[in-house]
Each structure stands twice: as C-alpha cells, then as structure tokens.
Chains A and B, each alone.
Chain A
Amino acid sequence: MEELFWVLLIGAAVLWTAVIGAAVYAQKRQVDPSLERQARWFIIWGGAVIPTLLVGGLLAWGMVILRDITSDTGDLTVRVDGERWWWRVTYEGPEGDVVTANEIRIPVGQTALFRLTADDVIHSFWVPALGGKMDMIPGRETTLALTPQEVGNWGGLCAEFCGGAHALMRFDAIVMEPGDFEAWLAAEAAPAQVSEDDPGFAVFQEEGCGACHAVRGTDAAGPVGPDLTHVAAREKLGAGVYEMTPQNMALWITETHEMKPDIDMPPYPDLDGARLDALVAFLMSLDHAE
C-alpha cells in the first residue's frame, strides 16, 4: 500500500515537471512551419501512446494490489455482519467460532481477512487508519484484508448511510501484539462465569433479555442483538458510542432511545432501584476471567 503511494507521488511529480517544461519550451521557441511533421509525431507519442502504456501499466499493477487486498487468505479470518446499527463479529478460531460484537481486535503485522456481510441494508466497513472501505451488501459476501503495522486503537465506522442511527454505528479497531491477541481471543472464547443465584441474572431472565441476547454459559441464547457473553470487556457501549461504565449501562437500559435513536431494542423505563442496580452489576460482571 505504502509502495503505491510513493510510486504515484514520484510518477506524478515527473509527469508534472515534463508537462510544465514542454509548456515553457513552447512559449519560448520561434514558430517554424516546417516543423509540422515533428509536431504530429509528438502528439501521437506524447498524447496517445505513452499515456496508454502508462495508465494501462498502472491499472494492471493496481489490479494485482487489489487482488492482494481482497485475497481469500489471511493469518486470521474475521466475519463481520452489518446490522442496523451495530456489528456482529465472529472470529474463526482454532476451536470454532467466537462470537462477539462491536469491537475488532487484530494482531499487529499479520494479515486479517475480513469476510463482510449485511443482514438488512447496505453498510460499509471502514477503519480509515488501516485501509480502504468495503461495502457490506445483503445477500453476498465481500472481503477485505488488512495488515496493521502499528499497535493502537484506530476506530472504525460505517461509511454508507444506512438509516436513523447510521452516525452512531461505530466500533473500536484495536491492534494488539500477537501474544496479547491470542490471550484476548482465548478469554473471549470462554463462556461467561455466572452464578445461578446472581440476583442480576434473575432480573436478566425475568425481563426476557435472553430473547434477543446470548450469554454463553447460560441458557440465554437470543440471536437478535449483540452477544453479551463478555460485554464488559469491551471498551465501548452501544456500538462504539459510549464509554463502558455502569452509569451508561443503566441509561442504555432505561433510556435506550435517548442514547441511540431508532434502534430495535425497546427501553425498560419501569426498571429501577434495586432491580436495575442488580442487572447493571450483572452485566458489568461479564468481563474476561482474570
């Protein structure tokens, strides 16, 4: 990718210098009608043949690079499904799929292949710091390979208008050292540690949260909304929008549509006091095991 940038920059500089030089030369020289044959030769080569070869060569080279970017191999495969307005993320791990949401973690220096789909409308997957955007189209799969060079949280977003909360459809794209990434993926793959007499889990069950959300390790297996198995291990809440704090979690549950308009999750304004506290405490306990 970086190579492409320098080739284009230097090539453009050479071409620009040549064109300006030719213009200056044409201004200075005397008009001599006998040179008409030379002029035709100049137009044919300078105006048609050389540009065709140059552009054709660049196109061929660009196709080769594009093939690499959209290749179907990587050191790691991550499926991302665009939903209104969040991301369902599935790591194809050594021991099967690991489902999570709204946060992408990839190891530095390795190529991660993203297989992108959408459930309802067209979304577009974009981590500006790491590479180009790629549309997510219902009914087909697109791919995008990213090879991050630097550790950090680079931030990603949906780059195709997809309805009401489009502007709040974001995610953290976190590039980690390979060892840290392996540990993170293993922790993410583990089921949640939920004690049967957790009062917050009782509220979770009574309120029917499991109709839409899954918590692996319990009988909550709802397929509709984001997987909550390790929700508290994510940095953000609401698809990359709010800091993951108990206060924001409580607001998310009771004033859902003020936090993020138009989303499918209904608000639970009648949850309050001890029941809400217990539910929030339970959700915030869904972290990675130490």
Chain B
Amino acid sequence: MRGWKRWAGAAVAALLVGGNAFYWLGAYNIAASQPHLPGVGEVLHQYLRNVIRTRGWGVEVPEHVDLADAGLIRLGAGHFATGCMTCHGAPGIPRNPVVEGMQPEPPRLSGSYEPEEYWWIARHGFKYTGMPAWAGEGRDDEPWAMAAFLSRYESFDRAGFEEAAFGEVGGYESAGVRFGGLPGAIPQELGCARCHGADGLGRDGTAPKLAGQSEDWLVQVLGAYAVGHRESGFMEPLAAPLSDETIAAIAARYAGMQADWQGEALSMGDAARGEDLARQGSEHDDIASCLSCHGDGEEGPKRADTPRIAGQDGYWLVNWLHMYRDGPVPTTPRAHLMAAAARNLSDADILDLAAYLSQAE
C-alpha cells in the first residue's frame, strides 16, 4: 500500500514538472509553416465535420426563405465576394497566395454540405481556424443567402459568379484577387450598386430598394451600420470603412433616384388582411397602424428619418419585422418606436403585412 502511494505521488510530480516544462517552453510547435504531426490534422478536421453535421440537425429553413430564389443567390454571391473569396477563392478565381500559408488552409469550396449546414457555418464560424462568425450579431436571417449560394456553388463558373456578385457595375476588373478587399478596384460609391442596383431598385430582389429613400434616413442607417448600432453581416463590413463624406455622397445619390417601386411579392401571407392591419392596426391585438408613420406609396413617410416601406420586397419586410420583434433591435435613437410597434405581431401578421406592403402603391 505504502509503495503504491509513493509511486502515484512520483507520477503526479513528474506530470506536473513535465507538463509545466512543455507548456512554458512551447514545446509543441504551432507554426503555420509546419505540418501537423501525422494524424492530428485528420482527427481535427473530422471533428469539425462532426460538429457541422450535429449542429445542422437543429437548423430549419424559415418558411419565407426560398433557397432557389435568384435574388437570394445573387446576394449570397455578392457577400461571398465581399467577405469570403479573399480566403476561399471563388469559382474559377484562385486564392491569394497569402492565405495558402494558413494552417489549416481555407479550403476551396465544393458545395458538399447541406444548406442548413452552410447556414450554421456562416452564422457561427470556427474557433482556431480563422473562420469568423457572422458579423451581424443575432441576424439569423442573413446567412440564408450564403446557404442559397453555397449549395449551388458548383453550378457557377467564373463568368456566372462575376455576373451574380458584381452585376453590371463599371470599374470592376476581374484580373486578380487582391488581399483584404474586393478583386480589382471598385469605387466605394459603385460598390452599393452591386446588390442595390445602379438604379437603386435592388437588382431584381437581390437587396432592399433604396431609390428615393430620404437622405436623412440613408445617412442615419449607413452610419449606424458603420458603428454597429444596427446589426448586419452584409452591411457592417461595407459601411465601417466609409468616411462621413462618402456616406453623405452615397445618401444624396440614392435619395435623388426615381422611387419607382414595385416590390417582389411573397408567395405567402394574406394581402387583404395585411392591408387592414397596415392601415387600421388592431384593437384586440394591440397593433399600431404601419401607415400612420410610414405613409403609403403615394404620400411617403411622415418624417424624413422614417423609411418608406410601401413597395419594398416582401422578403426584407419579413426579415425586418422579425428583427424589430425578436431582436437585435438597432440602438439608433428612434428604433425603440418600431420595436414597440412590432412587439405584438404574430408570425402570421408579419407575413400578411409583408404580402400587402410589397404590393402597396
């Protein structure tokens, strides 16, 4: 018994000394220039796959998200160009040599996961790999664009990808992949047009319509994205580097465009009930009328810093109403008013309102 105890004590002491020596001397080399010890990389990568598979089980495609929607796929491609292709490359576009020195090396993508799994990866990222979580904290609606694009990744060639991600934007040179930026130089004010369209009408449902929104509102929202007062994984990375002058110039340009809105309808929701709700509100359910602040398509909003919503795409109306009801509510000065208005909406109310407002004139 005594002997056994002595041996155990010696083993613990040796472990303590050895472990400390290993830890403080940095014995295991984590240099990215060195490969893993045999088998370690495979085990870690398999573990990552296990995590994705298991977490994917708990993810469901929301009712209003159509993964085959061309606009949603274009939006995913556009954000892929903003945030992902620097490290992952893109269809027909190689990675920048800088990232080939990373360990683990960001993979070139192949469309090998399910849409729910892509959503999970884009939303949460991975520790210890350089893969970030979604920049718009809490915006669970946004990564579905990535799921839509990535599950069709293999069907894109270079020209198809460039058309989807950049459209007809002038100034884009597809020659090389710069590190830490868009390929080729796109003037910042043209960058908006990639998704919102050169006419501000949202490129056939790729992104919200901006044409004719008030300058006040555009400045406020873009500024809020820039400093994180309004969450969005799409908009924050693009707005953060903009100077106040650039923001003012962008706002002035979109405010001056022709607001000839006709929203993409949703395939669900009861527009007649939505109209009733938007105009009159509901006594029993304590729902305020939308149009009392936002106005209809003709008269427009009652205040310059209130956005126009009549004729906006149904998809965005649903996402925003969910955002104001469930969070993350923007921390801009008047956002709490919208949160109060959205608080008592049911899922069905949201679909009905979106069905009406997307078609409202």
Residue of A whose beta carbon sits closest to that of B279: A221
Contacts of A267 in B (CB 8 A): 336
The one of B280, B302, B333, B343 that contacts A205, using a Cβ cutoff of 8 Å: B302
Which stretch from A18-26, A46-54, A208-216 is at the chain B interface? A208-216
Asked if B302 contacts A206 (CB within 8 A), the reply is yes
Residue of A whose beta carbon sits closest to that of B306: A208
The one of A207, A221, A270 that contacts B280, using a Cβ cutoff of 8 Å: A221
The one of B289, B303, B334 that contacts A211, using a Cβ cutoff of 8 Å: B289
Residue B327 lies at the interface, judged by CB distance under 8 Å to chain A = no
Residue B70 lies at the interface, judged by CB distance under 8 Å to chain A = no
A residues 215-264 with Cβ under 8 Å of B? 220-224, 264
Asked if B333 contacts A223 (CB within 8 A), the reply is no
Contacts of A224 in B (CB 8 A): 281-283, 286-288
Asked if A222 contacts B289 (CB within 8 A), the reply is yes
Asked if B281 contacts A212 (CB within 8 A), the reply is yes
Residue B341 lies at the interface, judged by CB distance under 8 Å to chain A = yes
The one of A207, A211, A265, A270 that contacts B281, using a Cβ cutoff of 8 Å: A211
Residue B337 lies at the interface, judged by CB distance under 8 Å to chain A = yes
Asked if A208 contacts B292 (CB within 8 A), the reply is yes
Asked if A208 contacts B293 (CB within 8 A), the reply is yes
Question: For the complex, what is the distance from the CA of A165 to the CA of B337, rounded to whole Å?
Answer: 20
Question: For the complex, what is the distance from the CA of A216 to the CA of B288, rounded to whole Å?
Answer: 17
Question: For the complex, what is the distance from the CA of A205 to the CA of B334, rounded to whole Å?
Answer: 16
B residues 254-287 with Cβ under 8 Å of A? 280-284, 286-287
**Chain B window 323-361, contacts with chain A (Cβ cutoff 8 Å), 1 for yes, 0 for no:** 000000000011011011101100000000000000000
Contacts of B333 in A (CB 8 A): 270
Asked if A208 contacts B340 (CB within 8 A), the reply is no
The one of A205, A207, A223, A266 that contacts B336, using a Cβ cutoff of 8 Å: A266
A residues 264-285 with Cβ under 8 Å of B? 264-268, 270
Question: For the complex, what is the distance from the CA of A209 to the CA of B288, rounded to whole Å?
Answer: 9
Contacts of B281 in A (CB 8 A): 211-212, 222-224
Asked if B337 contacts A223 (CB within 8 A), the reply is no
How many chain-A residues does the 8 Å CB contact rule pick out?
Answer: 22
- Given A211-B292, A212-B288, decide whether A266 and B302 contact each other with a Cβ distance below 8 A: no
- In terms of DSSP, what is the predominant structure of the interface of chain A? loop
Give the shortest distance, in Å, between B48 (CB) and chain A (any CB): 45
**Chain B window 287-326, contacts with chain A (Cβ cutoff 8 Å), 1 for yes, 0 for no:** 1111011000000001100100000000000000000000
Q: Which of A210, A265, A270 has the most CB of B within 10 A?
A: A210
- In terms of DSSP, what is the predominant structure of the interface of chain B? loop
Contacts of A198 in B (CB 8 A): none
Contacts of A83 in B (CB 8 A): 286
Question: For the complex, what is the distance from the CA of A205 to the CA of B291, rounded to whole Å?
Answer: 11
Question: For the complex, what is the distance from the CA of A265 to the CA of B286, rounded to whole Å?
Answer: 11
Question: For the complex, what is the distance from the CA of A51 to the CA of B270, rounded to whole Å?
Answer: 64
Residue A177 lies at the interface, judged by CB distance under 8 Å to chain B = no
Residue of A whose beta carbon sits closest to that of B344: A264
Residue of A whose beta carbon sits closest to that of B295: A208
Residue A119 lies at the interface, judged by CB distance under 8 Å to chain B = yes
Question: For the complex, what is the distance from the CA of A224 to the CA of B282, rounded to whole Å?
Answer: 7
- Given A206-B302, A208-B293, A211-B292, decide whether A223 and B343 contact each other with a Cβ distance below 8 A: no
Contacts of A205 in B (CB 8 A): 302
Question: For the complex, what is the distance from the CA of A212 to the CA of B283, rounded to whole Å?
Answer: 9
Asked if B288 contacts A211 (CB within 8 A), the reply is yes
Question: For the complex, what is the distance from the CA of A163 to the CA of B337, rounded to whole Å?
Answer: 22
Asked if B337 contacts A222 (CB within 8 A), the reply is no
Contacts of A270 in B (CB 8 A): 333-334
Question: For the complex, what is the distance from the CA of A210 to the CA of B288, rounded to whole Å?
Answer: 9
Question: For the complex, what is the distance from the CA of A223 to the CA of B285, rounded to whole Å?
Answer: 10
Give the shortest distance, in Å, between A138 (CB) and chain B (any CB): 10
Question: For the complex, what is the distance from the CA of A211 to the CA of B287, rounded to whole Å?
Answer: 9
Asked if A264 contacts B303 (CB within 8 A), the reply is no
Contacts of B303 in A (CB 8 A): 206-207
Contacts of A208 in B (CB 8 A): 288, 292-293, 302, 306, 337
Task: Name 17 A/B residue pairs within 8 A (Cβ), A-sorted.
Answer: A119-B283, A206-B302, A207-B293, A208-B288, A208-B293, A208-B306, A210-B292, A211-B288, A211-B341, A212-B288, A222-B288, A223-B280, A224-B283, A264-B286, A264-B343, A264-B344, A270-B334
* Given A205-B302, A210-B292, A222-B281, 7 new contacts (CB under 8 A): A83-B286, A120-B286, A206-B302, A211-B341, A223-B282, A224-B283, A264-B344
Pairs of residues from A and B, 5 with the lowest C-beta to C-beta distance, nearest first: A211-B292, A208-B293, A223-B283, A211-B288, A266-B340
